[in-house]
Structure 1
Amino acid sequence: MTTTEQGPTAVTERALGPDLARGFMLLFIALANSHYFLRGPSVLGGYPQDGSAIDRAATWLIATFVDGRAFPMFGLLFGYGVAQIVRRRTGTAWATRFLLWRRSLVLVVLGLLHATLLYVGDILGAYGVLLFLGVWAIRWKDRWLLIVAVLFLALTALPSDTSLSINADPPDVSMLPPDFGTQVVERLKVTPLIAFLGPIGFATPFLVGLWAGRRRILERPAEHLRLLKATAVAGVTIAVLGAQPVALTLSRVIDRPTGDTLSLVGPLHDVSGTIGGFGYAALIVLIATRIRRGRVTEAIAATGQRSLTCYLMQSVIWTVVFTPYLLDLSDTLTVATTALLAAGAWMLTVFLADRMRRANYRGPFELLIRRITYRTGVSSRPAVRR
């Protein structure tokens, strides 16, 4: 299939770095999502507090390197992808906005179905709402993109004791419904709230992604090595250090803070995680410039190219394993064994994505969103420029 400026990017034209980042970060998404299903006599930040030393070590690792660090990186790549779409369009600004609004509508509808039927913590709806509003930013000057991004980051940094990272509530009935009817009713109550509040946290990485996409920083790393290296070192360092108050609390090394301290450690974890998402993206893109395209690299990149399908496949696994009227393993699995389950789920999606790559198949949900976005029949075979 011959691509045009208005169509989706051909697989042969895709840079390795962003796809590798999406594929690898889906492992972190799996680790971040799955532990919130666990129950116990005492739960803090989604982690049962009665686990073994191995569970405590796993908690520290996930809270330090994963929680609140993977989703900002996806927000960055989401904005980066929007910048790519805008760059490839040859029509008017309004035509581009309508194309992106169609894309946002698909994400909102898909997110609603995903949250209702599979995983209540869906982010697709939030991305859809963010894109619906964010189309007005595609023509902003660079300085306004960065100024507004900083303002949203400052909003995230405001003292608050409502951060998920320090929440002491166990999974509620919307997360672990006793039956399908309750699941639908309860999730329809909370899903719109998540979809409309989520963009507040994703706005900063989205706007920075727009800015980076205009400069093709992740596609042309050789031209931006100094920036990428500085971002990787600073971002990962800030993410690790900023996570320690929460990570040490969740792993029971220190006591849970109270009062004013409690209202500071959650936002610190969230803000450092956003910056860490930038660092992770930069680090993986730098690694992509150094490694050879082997079987493992191609398989993980194929996962990144089909990140939507693979993300939804993970939710199918969580639904089967944790839902009370199915396997109901929320009381059985521990933090450590759930981490192993998450790693296994990710490896399964890597295997399936690589099989799709070998079959020259784009992926069912990627195909769906492209068909609706571009209002044309996009081949299920990856586009190749002749």
Structure 2
Amino acid sequence: MHSVSRRERLTVIDLLRGVAILGILLVNMIDFHAPFLYLQADYWSGADYITYALVDVLAQGSFYPMFAFLFGFGAILLMERTIKKGISFPLLFSRRMAFLLLVGIIHAFVIWHGDILISYAMCGWFILLVYKLSGKALLKMAVLLYTIPYGLLGSLTILSSVMFPDEMAVETDWAKAREAVQVYGSGSVSDIFSFRFEEWMAVNGSLNVIFLFLSIFPCILAGMSFAKLGWLKDISSHRRKLRWMFGLSAVVGIGLKIYPYYDGFTVGSLFMQDSFGGPLLALAYMTGITLTYERFSSFRKLTMPFIPLGRMSMTNYLTQSIFWTFIFYSYGLGLYNQIGMLIGTILAILFVAVQAVFSAYWLKSYKMGPVEYVWRVATYGKKQSFRLTTKEKEQGERWKEL
């Protein structure tokens, strides 16, 4: 079995992956250059505060759910191709997750603590327990698995925040922020390694692993259900349903995302912002972009640079971490905490633009990104074709004109 051809790809999924790569860097950039784990809006002022608020509302908590959704969507596409070829999907997918886990471990403990690949890989193995279920069953499971525990927890945090507003208020942890600045800005490689592990454990260790599973796996299930139900494949048949999803998720999602800015930064408001506002806004982005892409040719031309960016999403994601940690950490240029939100956000947008140009240039000669190629080899257990033939290049040019 060989990799999927350009004509067989679902282009809008690559587009959504490309948009997610931009959104992920907008959020991750804060952590690359500042002690993001310990700060709140009160850390910034002036233009930096406005920029932080925009990124917080429009990006924070929305693009990792989108990536998880696309992860599940892609798993079903892979399943359909493997079954068609008579290949064991569980064996193939297990090898795929094993490689993803390995990359995630290296990324998390050698490069940057904010890795999400480990969580995706661990959740990915649970796909093998449910991939034969119908699309409707997967969707019901996704909704119940997410809304029941998070609904109960959200109600408790909101109630506690109303009853004990002072105790539940959330502000910047200045002591930990100063420690992060000292370690990443001027610490040794050993100091950075130890602190990176400490931060990874703070987010992923203990009971947090349960909450990570309950936040990621339902999004994966939702992506699987959309793929099986054909909601992003046959848009014309599901346009009304997608419009309804877009309208509801956009209104409620934006409302929840701005909730802390008019009710105060408490445990309850921040929980609702990230746990419900984030995924709902992700759904709004996906359905809105899909509907617009299907309807307007001008939008397809405008968003074309995101498609190669999305086709090389793994390479681009890892490159972002490697490049920016070198720029900001002490073992590189040591510019940690030397720039503000506005400059950091501008740099993130410019960097993604460069990645889009490079991805388009790279895919003129190669079928996939370098990391994607190694992942394919590990998945299929055999060497894959990498360079485009002259005929494939000509077909690619014709495909882009369609």
TM-score w.r.t. structure 1 length?
A: 0.85
Query: What does residue 3 of structure 1 align with?
Result: none
The one-letter amino acid paired with 1:310 is N
CA distance in 1, matches of 2:191, 2:384: 38
Query: What does residue 105 of structure 1 align with?
Result: 98
SS in 2 for 1:49: helix
Query: What does residue 194 of structure 1 align with?
Result: 204
The one-letter amino acid paired with 1:58 is T
Give CA-to-partner distance per residue, 1:66-115, whole Å, 9 cap, x none.
00011111111110000101111227999211111111111110001111
Give CA-to-partner distance per residue, 1:286-315, whole Å, 9 cap, x none.
222122587754321001111111111111
Bigger-Rg structure (1/2)? 2
CA distance in 1, matches of 2:82, 2:34: 49
The alignment covers a number of residue pairs equal to 368
Of 219, 224, 229, 1:215 maps to: 229
Task: Spell out the pairing of 1:351-370 with structure 2 (5 A cutoff).
Answer: 351-370=357-376
Contact kept? 1:47, 1:59, Cα under 8 Å: no
The one-letter amino acid paired with 2:306 is I
Matched, 1:281 2:277: no
The one-letter amino acid paired with 1:11 is R
SS in 1 for 2:13: helix
Deviation at 1:230, TM superposition (A): 1.6
Identify unmatched segments of 5+ residues in structure 1.
Answer: 1-5
CA distance in 1, matches of 2:297, 2:38: 36
> Sequence identity of aligned pairs in percent?
21
Of 321, 330, 333, 2:336 maps to: 330
Matched, 1:184 2:184: no
Contact kept? 2:112, 2:196, Cα under 8 Å: no
CA distance in 2, matches of 1:229, 1:97: 35
Query: What does residue 66 of structure 2 align with?
Result: 73
Contact kept? 1:235, 1:276, Cα under 8 Å: yes
Query: What does residue 259 of structure 2 align with?
Result: 245
CA distance in 2, matches of 1:268, 1:294: 31
Query: What does residue 354 of structure 2 align with?
Result: 348
SS in 1 for 2:363: helix
Deviation at 1:45, TM superposition (A): 6.4
Give CA-to-partner distance per residue, 1:105-135, whole Å, 9 cap, x none.
1111000111122221001111100101221
CA distance in 2, matches of 1:93, 1:209: 24
The one-letter amino acid paired with 1:282 is T
CA distance in 1, matches of 2:199, 2:117: 14
Query: What does residue 22 of structure 1 align with?
Result: 17
Give the RMSD, CA atoms, in angstroms: 3.1
Identify unmatched segments of 5+ residues in structure 2.
Answer: 158-168, 397-402
The one-letter amino acid paired with 1:267 is M
Task: Spell out the pairing of 1:227-306 with structure 2 (5 A cutoff).
Answer: 227-246=241-260, 248=261, 255-257=264-266, 262-289=267-294, 290-292=296-298, 297-306=303-312
Matched, 1:377 2:372: no
Deviation at 1:341, TM superposition (A): 1.5
Higher deviation after alignment, 336-345 or 49-58: 49-58
CA distance in 2, matches of 1:303, 1:274: 22
Higher deviation after alignment, 304-313 or 94-103: 94-103
Query: What does residue 166 of structure 2 align with?
Result: none
